[in-house]
Structure 1
């Protein structure tokens, strides 16, 4: 792996690049959200011993705060290295 980029203004996506600067994978979607594969503000990135990448977030959003009872919404994505 080469680098990680979380673009200002696009904080809902995380892009992984190889050493030549080519995109390896991207976490998140073009639009922020609370649906499958979407993030609002991912803030946890980890790599395991196999080189698999994990991106996660936990956010207390407006939508979650209006639920009864209030909920913390969670998102989690994995890129498995082959």
Structure 2
């Protein structure tokens, strides 16, 4: 399944996040705040993995939105 992932952390400002996404999801396209990939994982699972990594790296709350190829969105929000 193909997904587009958007996050609130600029991946150019946080190379650890960009590297994690590149290694974990092997995206076809990477931009400052989003990437496109194909994976067997569900959109909610991708959101959970990425927002956990963003929180680990930045220590900030935020949101990750994953849109699958049917345009159904799943988002994960950081929780304190």
Question: Shared topology, TM-score over 0.5?
Answer: no
- Give the TM-score normalised by the residue count of structure 2: 0.33
| Larger-gyration structure (1/2) | 1
Please identify which structure carries the higher strand content.
1
> Which is bigger in relative contact order (C-alpha 8 A, separation at least 6)?
2
Please identify which structure carries the higher helix content.
2
- Give the TM-score normalised by the residue count of structure 1: 0.32
